[in-house]
Amino acid sequence: MSGASAADVLTRLGDKWKGLIERAADLERTGKAEPFRDRPRPGLVPDGERNHPEAGDLLNRLLRTYRGATLAEVFPGREVGLDGSTCYCIDSTSPMDLHMIGRDTARERLLADLRLLYGIGGRTQASLKEQGWATIGDLLRHPRHNGEAARFLAILETGDAGRLIEWIRRWLPASDPLAFYCSSFHPPGAMVVLDIETLGLSPDRPVILIGAARPAGDDIVVRQYLVRDIGEEAAVVKTFLSQVHSGSFLVTYNGKSFDVPYVRGRMAYYGIRGRLDVPHYDMLPFARRVWREQVADCRLVTLEKYLFATAREDDVPGDLVPAFYKTYQETGNVGPLVPIVAHNRQDLVTLARLFARLHEEWR
């Protein structure tokens, strides 16, 4: 097969695949729901009986408890949106004590680690410090390392956390405390804690809930943007993005691998412009570094129980979120949304508390 004909075949296959995805998405956005039912279809929770035997009981109990209740009654909220499209926003607050490492302290910690300069490893750093080169600032007088020291100090003086993180991660692992110290270069109010719920792990599946939280005084304010039907997904993505500004920074849990790429994929699908290229602190590597020896695993719910003595009730496992949401769509009963919204909200609150806890650990 010639190169040209191979390219043509690949192009046709790509167009066909794209068309299938778009038609499937169109059906999701415009398809008519079946008549309302008060019980889920048999097999609606395909793995529930095998992996989560309690899931079916929970789902049926939710359907009974919330039969006839409206969304506004169960989740007091408000209509929000941009460009004429709307979605539903659920607001809540929780107390949170956030005392971040001081900017001056963070600056001192960065300056004290000579490994941030090219050509300096652990042994070289020890040797230099024995000779009296205590900080990167001191190395401005060093015949070999002065140029690299000057370049780093120029970035440090700007206080640009994003550029500092990039510099640090050239030489040190993502879990190194120095990368976390960069969060002290932001005002606390610039923090946006992000957690999403989706209809599956594949990036072509819709987002159904985007939770965003930020500190306000002694509280953490949670805003959850809910997709009431699939046609509102674009509005949810747009409205969330309107909360992220050039001065913001993101806090996630495994968000570098999942949440942020997923949202970017949905932005691309709808042709939505926005910025997520802000400093990003994925707490999973940091948590593993600090607590992996104390807990069986570093799942967020495990750390939540270990650090904050919090146990969740009627929590819906992540792999069952699609089935619960589809039950809501098919029955019109808002009960199945209750554990999804509660799970997302608790993830946000725990993640904010974990961020604060790390500032205490590494103060």
Cα–Cα dist 193/214, whole Å: 6
pLDDT score for 54: 81
pLDDT at 17 exceeding the cut of 50:
no
Q: At how many degrees (to 10) do helices 337-361 and 321-331 cross? A: 140
Q: What is the pLDDT of residues 112-145, one digit of tens each?
A: 999 999 999 999 999 999 999 999 999 999 999 9
pLDDT score for 51: 62
Q: What is the pLDDT of residues 223-263, one digit of tens each?
A: 999 999 999 999 999 999 999 998 999 999 999 999 999 99
C-alpha separations of 42 from 56, 79, 87, 200 in Å? 10, 34, 30, 20
3-class secondary-structure state, position 252? strand
pLDDT score for 48: 41
pLDDT score for 311: 86
Cα–Cα dist 13/103, whole Å: 53
pLDDT at 27 exceeding the cut of 90:
no
pLDDT score for 155: 98
CB 317 within 8 A of CB 182: no
pLDDT at 184 exceeding the cut of 60:
yes
Cα–Cα dist 57/40, whole Å: 11
**Tokens (6 digits) for 41:** 């279809």
Cα–Cα dist 280/183, whole Å: 9
CB 231 within 8 A of CB 85: no
What is the domain partition of the chain in residue ranges? 48-99+186-361, 103-183
Q: Which CATH superfamily is domain 48-99+186-361 in?
A: Ribonuclease H-like superfamily/Ribonuclease H (3.30.420.10)
pLDDT score for 275: 86
Which residue did the predictor score with more confidence, 260 or 35? 260
**Tokens (6 digits) for 149:** 């020291």
Q: Which of 278, 214, 223, 215 is nearest to 249 (CA)?
A: 278
pLDDT score for 351: 97
**Residue percentage of the chain with pLDDT more than 90:** 77
Quote the DSSP letter at residue 227. Answer: -
pLDDT at 193 exceeding the cut of 80:
yes
Among the listed ranges 17-26, 113-122, 252-261, 315-324, which one has the minimum average pLDDT value? 17-26
pLDDT at 16 exceeding the cut of 90:
no
* 362 phi and psi angles, rounded to 5 deg: -105, 15
Cα–Cα dist 306/310, whole Å: 8
pLDDT score for 82: 85
* 315 phi and psi angles, rounded to 5 deg: -80, 140
Strands 207-216 vs 280-282: parallel, antiparallel or unpaired: unpaired
Any alpha helices (H) in the chain, and if so which ranges? 3-30, 48-51, 55-65, 71-74, 103-112, 122-130, 146-158, 161-171, 177-181, 233-241, 259-270, 283-291, 300-308, 321-331, 337-361
Band (24; pLDDT cuts 50, 70, 90): very low
**Which pTM value belongs to this model?**
0.84
DSSP per-residue letters across 106-145: HHHHHHH-GGGSTT--HHHHHHHHHTT--STTGGGG-TTT
pLDDT at 12 exceeding the cut of 60:
no
